[in-house]
Structure 1
Amino acid sequence: MRGIVNVEQAEAWNGYEGNHWAGNHDRYDAVNSGFNDHLLSAAAVGDGDRVLDIGCGNGQVTRLAARQAGRGHATGLDLSAPMLRRARELAAAEGVANATFIEGDAQVHPLPAAGFDVAVSRFGIMFFSDPVAAFANIARALRPGGRVALLSLRAGDGSELEPVFAAVRRDLPGLVGGARESGAREPVAREPVAPGPDSMSDPDRVRQVLTGAGFTDVGTSPVDAPQVWGRDAEDAAAFLGAWGPVQHIMRQVEPDAAARARHTLTEALRPFEQPDAVRLRGTAWLITAIRP
C-alpha cells in the first residue's frame, strides 16, 4: 500500500474489521462515546484551534472537535477507507463543514509542519508498529507548545468486559481480551508491546514512547465510562460475536464450541442488563503531553 508502513493494520482496517466498524458506527460510538467528555475536556479545544484526530475511525470525535473549534478546523487521519467514507457521510449529514478526513499512516503521513494546535485520539494510538516514529511525526505536526490528549486502554483494571470474556475462554481459548475504542482491531494473543489493544496500557511505556518522540509533561490519569453494548443480552452477544477479535477466533474453533461460546457470552452479559440497554464499565488511560 502506497505511503503505508503499518501494513498489517491497514489490511485489517480495510477488510472485515473496517467494514464492520463502518457498518455499525452508531453501535461502536455507543460503546465509546462515554469517554468523549474526558478526552475533549483534556484537549481544551478553543475557537480557532486546528485539531488533528489520530485514528479517527468513523469520525465522531473529529466532528465534536470541529464544532468546538468554531472558526478553526479538525482533520481526521485513519488507515481505514471504509470508515473514512462513513466519516465523510456523517459530517456532511450533520452539516459539519470544518472537518476533513485523510487516509494515511500516522507513522509516515506528510502532515504539515506545525500545522496543528492540538492532537486527540480516542483509542486510535494502540496500533502503531513503530509508536515512537508515529508520535515523532505527530510532534512535528504540532506547533511549539501544542498539546495532545489521548485515550488508551487500561487493560484488566476494573473493565467489566474482562469477566465476560473470561467466561467464554474455555470454548474460545485464544480470546485474551482488549478493544479498539474498546474494540480490538485484531486478536490480543500477543506481547503487550506489539501493536494491539494492550500496547499502551502501561503508563511507564506511555511515558517512554512519548518522551522518546520528543514530548514533555507526559501525564496519565485513569478514567472510567459506561459502555453500551446492546439492547439486551442477546443483542449485545450477537454484536460482540461479530466483532473482529471474537469473530476471528470463532472461525477457528469447531461449530459446537462456537455455539457454546455464543450461549455463554449471552449468559455472561445478563447481569449487565438494564431496562434500556446492556452497560459495562470501561476503563482507560487519559494521556496528556506537550510538544516543547
Structure 2
Amino acid sequence: MTQIVNVQQSEAWNGYEGEHWAAHHDRYNAINGGFNTALLDAAGIDEGSRVLDLGCGAGQTSRLAARRAHTGRVLGVDLSAPMLARARATALDEGIGNVAFAQGDVQVFGFAEGEFDAAISRFAVMFFADPVAAFANVARALRPGGRLAFLSMPDVTGSDLGTVLATAREHLPAWHTTPDPDGSGPMSLSDPDRVRTILGKAGFGDVSTRRIEATETWGRDAADAAEFFTGWGPVRHHLAGADPDPLRAALTDAFGRFERDGAVRLDGSAWLVTAVR
C-alpha cells in the first residue's frame, strides 16, 4: 500500500465502516446505483479508454466502466482493504479481466503522468484530507484533455434523505452533516462555487456542475431500512454504545413515509461534476 495522509479516513474504512460497506455492498449499490449511467456517460468512456475510479469501494462503478472500456483498462483505488477484497472477488466472479484494484490514498498515490483518459468517482471524493492536492494528483494522472466526472452530495435540507437524517439527529445530537473542521466530510463538495474553486486550483478547466436525480432503494420495508441505517458507520459511531432501539423505532417511522412499490424508495439527488485537465 502507498503512503497514507488521510489517516482518520483510512482507520474508518479499514475498520467497522469498511467492513459494513463490504458486507452490504448490494444494499449500497441499490441506494447509489441509479446514478451510475449518468456518471459513466459524463466521463466519455469509450471501448479503449483507460479509466481511474477514485474511492472505488466494492467496485461496481469500476466493473461497469470496464465493460464499457472492453479493450481498455480500469484501475480502482480505495483506502479500504475489506471493500477492495469484495471488489476483486466480484470482478473475478463476473469474469471481468480488464479491471484491477489497488489500496492507497488518491492524494499521494504514485500515478504515472498522463496514465488515464478519464477519472470517475461515485460519492467518494468528498473525504479528501486536502482536496486541492488530491485533485491535482488526479489531474497529473490524466492525459491533457482527459475528463474527470464525479458525484457529490448536495445540501439535503428538505429532501427525502434530509427527512431521515433529521430524525436520526434527534437521537444523535453530536452528529452533524456539515463539513468537518478540516473542510472534509460528506457535504464538503455540496457548494458548486467551492467545487469550481478547488478544481481550478488543482489544474482543471471547463468545470460543470449539474444536479441530477435518481431513486434510492433503502430496504424491503421500513423496518429493514431502519435496521440497515442504524448499523451504518457514522450512526453506530455516534450511538457510542447507547441503546439503539429508540433510534431504530424513530427511523422505522421516518422510512415508513417512503414505502412504495414493495420497497423503501427515496427520491435522491446528486451533483454531477465534470472537468477537463
**TM-score (ref. length: structure 2):** 0.96
Aligned match of 1:262 in 229, 248, 263?
248
Q: Unpaired runs of 5+ in structure 2?
A: none
Is the CA contact (8 Å cut-off) linking 1:72 and 1:98 kept in structure 2? Answer: yes
Name the structure 2 match of 1:198.
187
Aligned partners of 1:283, 1:23: CA distance in 2, in Å?
Answer: 25
Alignment of 1:115-194 (within 5 A): 115-156=115-156, 158-177=158-177, 190-191=180-181, 194=183
State the alpha-carbon separation in 1 of the partners of residues 97 and 157 from structure 2.
39
Partner of 2:93: 93
Contact 1:175 1:189 in 2 (8 A): no
What is the identity, as a one-letter code, of the residue corresponding to 1:90? T
Q: 1:233 to 1:280 in 2, by over 3 A?
A: same
1:283 to 266, 269, 272: 269
Instruction: State how many pairs are aligned.
Output: 277
Higher alpha-carbon deviation: 106-115 or 2-11: 2-11
Q: What SS does the aligned partner of 1:31 have? A: helix
Q: Residue 260 of structure 2 corresponds to which residue in structure 1?
A: 274
- 1:107-154 Cα offsets, whole Å, 9 max, x none, are 001011100000000011000000100011000100011011110001
- Which residue of structure 1 lines up, in the alignment, with residue 78 of structure 2? 78
SS in 2 for 1:61: helix
Aligned-pair distance for 1:157? 5.1
* TM-superposed deviation, 1:190: 3.1
Q: Is the 8 A contact 1:158 1:281 kept in 2?
A: no
The 2-side partners of 1:26 and 1:146 are apart by 31
Can you give the 5+ residue segments of structure 1 that lack an aligned partner in the other structure?
178-187
Determine whether 1:239 maps to 2:228. Answer: yes
Deviation at 1:169, TM superposition (A): 2.6
In structure 1, give the amino acid aligned to 2:74: A
Q: CA deviation at 1:158?
A: 5.0
Check whether the contact 1:157–1:283 (CA below 8 A) recurs between aligned residues.
no
State the SS of the aligned residue for 1:169: helix
Output the aligned Cα RMSD. 1.4
Deviation at 1:251, TM superposition (A): 2.0
Instruction: Name the % identity.
Output: 55
Question: What amino acid maps onto 2:116 in structure 1?
Answer: F
Amino acid at match of 2:77: L
In 1, the alpha carbon distance for the partners of 2:149 and 2:179 equals 28
Structure-1 residue corresponding to 2:206: 217
Cα deviations across residues 144-175 of structure 1 (Å, max 9, x unaligned)? 11011110001225531111121233322123
Q: Distance in 2 between matches of 1:236 and 1:195?
A: 27
| Residue 144 to residue 168, structure 1, CA distance change in 2 (3 Å) | closer
